[in-house]
């Protein structure tokens, strides 16, 4: 019962970080600073960011309690301050979770108390970046020793940051596509899609490079041929397949759906172009959510190189 809860809480933390960091960056850089489609004019922006921060803070705190319960062998004993304090005091995983909860709570206060605007988004993105980086201690990277351990940890942090930026942007596009039309919204949507395409290519490159580094360490070059023989390996292959699906959908958005929207904006019915984008972005976001679930599970399994 406790182990599935740990996997679920990992997913909650990944999702919260995606919203807090990734969506903050999207709102900061992909949308116009003024007008109906500016972040300060979007009614959902503040509350979605607040929800992401709250989700991350709560998930991190409950993860400490779940880890304590696993060691104590009892939910009742795991939720005591003494047991949770031991996890924070003696485990880097617990220390990272505590830091993550503090950063997420700080971001929540900023979102609630500060006036909507660029400075608020800079603050939430900065706090979100720190919280996202701390998620590396949820995985196997923190257990790798020596110089290779530092390389692995750095690679995992970059992997997490790139992934949350991509998924956060997808969340932003999905919310824009699902919200009521406003003057200039579809133009801003096209501008955001067009502007994100270059960054998206960089993110894919970073994810590929860091993914190769992480797999080299966790699977090992001598075990690549046997990867499908382990549960970890099969989940990793599923993650790769979902990633490739996301790349294909992103390519369709960049080279087909976004240019089509640009063409009809000059004069024509945009409903068909927006519907195609909505379907493609929705599928890409669903694949991204599935990857987060797979990664949450992978972090609880022993990698082939450990054997």
Q: Which residue has the higher pLDDT, 138 or 162?
A: 162
> In this structure, what CATH number is given to the domain that contains residue 59?
1.20.1630
Q: Which two tokens stand for residue 38?
A: 């500016």
pLDDT digits (tens, 9 = 90+) for 215-272: 888 887 777 777 888 899 999 999 999 999 999 999 999 889 888 888 887 766 777 8
pLDDT digits (tens, 9 = 90+) for 154-185: 999 999 999 999 999 999 999 988 876 655 67
Q: What is the pLDDT of residue 180?
A: 61
Total count of domains within the chain:
1
Largest CA-CA distance found in the chain, in angstroms, rounded: 66
Least confidently predicted of 132-136, 145-149, 181-185: 181-185
Alpha-carbon gap, residue 217 to 214, rounded angstroms: 5
Say if residues 152 and 144 touch (Cβ distance below 8 Å).
Answer: yes
Q: What is the pLDDT of residue 226?
A: 79
For residue 114, pLDDT over 80 is answered with yes
Percent of the chain residues past pLDDT 70, beyond the cut: 95
Residue 1 in 3-state DSSP?
coil
Say if residues 275 and 216 touch (Cβ distance below 8 Å).
Answer: no
Class of residue 34 by CB neighbours under 10 A (exposed 0-12, middle 13-18, buried 19+): exposed
Query: pTM (2 decimals)?
Result: 0.93
- For the chain, the C-alpha Rg in angstroms (whole number) is 20
At 35, phi and psi to the nearest 5?
A: 105, 180
Say if residues 301 and 231 touch (Cβ distance below 8 Å).
Answer: yes
What mean pLDDT do residues 51-61 have?
97
Domain holding 120, by residue range, is 2-306
């Amino acid at each position: 019962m406790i182990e599935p809860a740990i996997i679920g809480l990992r997913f909650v933390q990944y999702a919260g970080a995606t919203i807090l960091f990734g969506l903050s960056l999207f709102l900061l850089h992909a949308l116009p600073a003024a007008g109906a489609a500016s972040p300060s004019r979007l009614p959902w922006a503040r509350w979605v960011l607040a929800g992401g921060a709250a989700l991350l803070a709560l998930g991190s705190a409950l993860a400490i309690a779940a880890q304590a319960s696993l060691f104590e062998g009892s939910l009742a004993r795991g939720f005591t301050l003494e047991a949770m304090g031991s996890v924070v005091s003696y485990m880097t995983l617990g220390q990272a979770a505590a830091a993550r909860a503090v950063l997420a709570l700080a971001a929540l206060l900023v979102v609630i108390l500060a006036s909507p605007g660029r400075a608020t988004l800079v603050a939430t993105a900065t706090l979100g970046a720190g919280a996202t980086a701390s998620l590396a201690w949820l995985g196997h990277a923190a257990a790798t020793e020596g110089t290779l351990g530092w390389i692995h940890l750095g690679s995992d942090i970059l992997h997490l940051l790139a992934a949350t930026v991509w998924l956060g942007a997808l969340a932003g596009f999905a919310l824009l596509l699902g919200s009521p039309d406003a003057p200039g919204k579809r133009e801003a949507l096209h501008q955001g899609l067009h502007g994100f395409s270059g960054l998206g290519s960089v993110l894919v490159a970073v994810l590929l490079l860091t993914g190769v580094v992480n797999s080299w360490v966790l699977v090992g070059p001598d075990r690549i041929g046997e990867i499908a023989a382990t549960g970890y390996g099969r989940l990793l292959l599923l993650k790769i397949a979902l990633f490739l699906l996301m790349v294909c959908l992103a390519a369709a958005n960049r080279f087909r759906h976004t240019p089509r929207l640009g063409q009809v904006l000059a004069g024509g019915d945009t409903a068909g172009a927006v519907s195609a984008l909505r379907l493609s972005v929705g599928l890409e976001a669903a694949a991204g959510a599935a990857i987060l679930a797979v990664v949450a599970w992978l972090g609880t399994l022993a990698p082939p190189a450990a054997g």
